[in-house]
Amino acid sequence: MQDNKWGSRIIYQIYPRSFKDSNSDGIGDLQGIRNKLDYLKDLGIDAIWLSPIYPSPMHDFGYDISDYKNVDPIFGNLKDFDELIAKAHSINIKILMDFVPNHTSFEHPWFKESRSSKKNPKRDWYIWRGSDKKEKAPNNWLSQFGGSAWELDRTTEEYYLHTFDVSQPDLNWRNLQVVEEMLNTMRFWLERGVDGFRVDVAYILYKDPFFRDEPSNSNYLPEHHMIYDSLLHVYTTALPETIEMLKKFNEVINEFDDRFMVCEIYTFTHEIVNLYKIVDHYSFAPFNFSFISIPWNAFEQKKFLDEFDGLVGDKYFPTYVLGNHDQPRIATRLGDKAARSAALLQLTLRGTPFIYYGEELGMKNVDVPDEKVLDPIALNMKDFNFGRDPERGPMQWDKKEFAGFSDSEPWLPLEKDYTDKNVSSEKNDPKSFLNLYKKLIYLRKNLKALNSGKYIPLDLKNKNVFGFIREYDDQRVLILVNFSGEEQTAKLPKGNWRKILSTQMDTFEGIDKDQIIFMPSEGFILTN
């Protein structure tokens, strides 16, 4: 039985540039977020994760930090931040920050010092290597943003490591001063009242001390995968030292009351489960991206979800993610109807759901014409048709020009359907995405079985339908989803079931004896 606070909190991710602009420069900011807290309260979420708001030259839109202890003027200042926390806390909303420990910006004063000379005291704060042949990188390691992970720096004729953009040099976590400084950065924000962190690329902090070449990946297909996937990252990912450091981060979190950290780790079932066991505390969870990586069909989803919930067990809580600022939006990937059912699953499964801003409106990817592309991945790998701008479009508040996001042209284009899909229109439409989300959140909060009940797998004997039961004392809630685009019928498990919600938000027909009929992609919640 789950008695864990973070295990039942609903977390909402805000990409600050795109949520709400308060000063008409076309870029979202802290004041804008503060002005919209009442909307989030009304939606029913419990915590916000803010993507980075620190000073940054914005080559990777804030994931390239030049000062860990301040706020970028584009978003406001520390006073605005304190006010945001105070107002959020006054209405019982927690705030998580993004913590980006693997790399800084190349404009961070530490890196400026580090690159200035081999003798500089900060030289060892980053990963520098010479090479036998100067024009050849020290080894075969690759950047996730394309090309070699090494950049030759002419000042000292050595290479520095950058697992992401050249503007994002990797910190050297083997240097104890770096460790101390970064742990103190966490404390700086926790003392200011922040409720915890989402830890960026938490699995790659430490790299092989011998800098061995990584082996090639025999499953790599150049048409489908990024060049980074051509190697197996055995010397740069999930080193034992990295996992030890996650434990240290968690100890810092636990110096404070009721704080939490969630780690960005793209990995598989058993490894996720193992991480819970190693870090072993209620204030920690690794992200689970299964709804992004596993095909949208009943068989595959059932196979994963039944096993995963069981392996995570009662002591810990899974997390469920439908999208984020690095992934195409769920309504674009699956279409509206299936995206509604995905929301139903996410909000009825046991564990912590992460809602990416706009998902609650059914927001789609925006079309970004070539001349407006900003994402460094897209710019670095022009031939590879991939960029993250489309999922980062401005939040759709109303149908006015600029969607109520700003009074001037937003930094990224608006989604073309914004005049229909926006907060103001959806509020008044009883069948809208927004009202579906509100209803789901309401049920999750008010049905003990949904917020704390155990998960019971079911076999429904229809390969297109997946379902499970959540149970708490004598309350039982049955969740059913039709994964196909056709009508389906399924036999109900034994019980006296009553429908309480359909993803289509229709008036319900009765249940025909022990059978239930689904419209294409429809999902249901029933109770006893």
Which stretches of the chain bind ligand NOJ, using CB under 6 A? 60, 63, 100, 164, 200-201, 264, 325-326
The Cα 389–Cα 377 span in angstroms is: 10
User: What would the x/- binding string for Ca ion be over residues 15 to 54, using CB under 5 A?
Assistant: ------x-x-x-x-x-------------------------
SS3 307: helix
CB of 62 to ligand NOJ, least distance (A): 9
CB of 448 to ligand NOJ, least distance (A): 35
- Exposed, middle or buried, 510 (CB in 10 Å: 0-12/13-18/19+)? exposed
Of residues 60 and 359, the one with the C-beta less far from ligand NOJ: 60
Of residues 2 and 13, the one with the C-beta less far from ligand NOJ: 13
| Dihedral sign, Cα of residue 174, residue 53, residue 343, residue 37 | positive
Strand 284-286 versus strand 260-263 pairing type: parallel
Q: Tally Cβ neighbours within 10 Å of residue 207.
A: 25
Residue 158 partner contact from Ca ion, ligand NOJ, none using kind-dependent CB cut-offs of 5 to 8 Å: none
DSSP code string of 501-528:
EETT-PPPPPPBTTEEEE-TT-EEEEE-
**Given the residues 29, 264, 359, 415, the one annotated as active site:** 264
| Dihedral sign, Cα of residue 153, residue 155, residue 158, residue 163 | negative
CB of 71 to Ca ion, least distance (A): 13
Residue pair 377/60 in contact (Cβ under 8 Å)? The answer is no
**Given the residues 21, 72, 200, 375, the one annotated as active site:** 200
257 is catalytic: no
Of residues 15 and 483, the one with the C-beta less far from ligand NOJ: 15
Residue 25 partner contact from ligand NOJ, Ca ion, none using kind-dependent CB cut-offs of 5 to 8 Å: Ca ion
| Dihedral sign, Cα of residue 46, residue 52, residue 55, residue 61 | negative
Residue 60 partner contact from ligand NOJ, Ca ion, none using kind-dependent CB cut-offs of 5 to 8 Å: ligand NOJ
Residue 27 partner contact from Ca ion, ligand NOJ, none using kind-dependent CB cut-offs of 5 to 8 Å: Ca ion
CB of 359 to Ca ion, least distance (A): 23
Tokens encoding 8? 């039942």
Of residues 60 and 72, the one with the C-beta less far from ligand NOJ: 60
Residue 326 partner contact from Ca ion, ligand NOJ, none using kind-dependent CB cut-offs of 5 to 8 Å: ligand NOJ
- 300 lies in the binding site for Ca ion (CB under 5 A): no
Of residues 27 and 458, the one with the C-beta less far from Ca ion: 27
SS3 13: strand
Closest CA to 162 of 195, 121, 115: 115
Cβ neighbours for 442, distance < 8 A, ≥ 6 positions apart: 44
From start to end of 222-318, where are the E strands? 260-263, 284-286
Question: Please, which residues bridge with residue 196 across strands?
Answer: 96, 260
CB of 333 to ligand NOJ, least distance (A): 18
Residue 21 partner contact from ligand NOJ, Ca ion, none using kind-dependent CB cut-offs of 5 to 8 Å: Ca ion
Of residues 113 and 326, the one with the C-beta less far from ligand NOJ: 326
DSSP category for residue 171: B
SS3 172: coil
CB of 159 to ligand NOJ, least distance (A): 20
Residue pair 33/84 in contact (Cβ under 8 Å)? The answer is yes
Question: Please, which residues bridge with residue 454 across strands?
Answer: 471
Residue pair 11/354 in contact (Cβ under 8 Å)? The answer is yes
Residue 23 partner contact from Ca ion, ligand NOJ, none using kind-dependent CB cut-offs of 5 to 8 Å: Ca ion
SS3 354: strand
The Cα 177–Cα 216 span in angstroms is: 34
Residue 345 partner contact from Ca ion, ligand NOJ, none using kind-dependent CB cut-offs of 5 to 8 Å: none
Closest CA to 48 of 101, 100, 10: 10
Closest CA to 505 of 523, 482, 526: 523
The Cα 202–Cα 243 span in angstroms is: 9
Residue 100 partner contact from ligand NOJ, Ca ion, none using kind-dependent CB cut-offs of 5 to 8 Å: ligand NOJ
Residue 63 partner contact from ligand NOJ, Ca ion, none using kind-dependent CB cut-offs of 5 to 8 Å: ligand NOJ
25 is catalytic: no
CB of 48 to Ca ion, least distance (A): 18
User: How many chain residues are in contact with Ca ion, going by CB under 5 A?
Assistant: 5
Of residues 25 and 124, the one with the C-beta less far from Ca ion: 25
Q: Which residue's beta carbon is nearest to the bound Ca ion?
A: 29
The Cα 183–Cα 198 span in angstroms is: 14
Of residues 196 and 467, the one with the C-beta less far from ligand NOJ: 196
Of residues 144 and 346, the one with the C-beta less far from ligand NOJ: 144
Q: Which residue's beta carbon is nearest to the bound ligand NOJ?
A: 63
- Exposed, middle or buried, 216 (CB in 10 Å: 0-12/13-18/19+)? exposed
CB of 18 to ligand NOJ, least distance (A): 13
CB of 109 to ligand NOJ, least distance (A): 19
DSSP category for residue 446: H
Of residues 206 and 405, the one with the C-beta less far from Ca ion: 405
CB of 373 to ligand NOJ, least distance (A): 15
Element (H, E) at 478: strand 475-482
Q: Which residues sit at the interface with Ca ion, rule CB under 5 A?
A: 21, 23, 25, 27, 29
Which are the catalytic amino acids? 200, 264
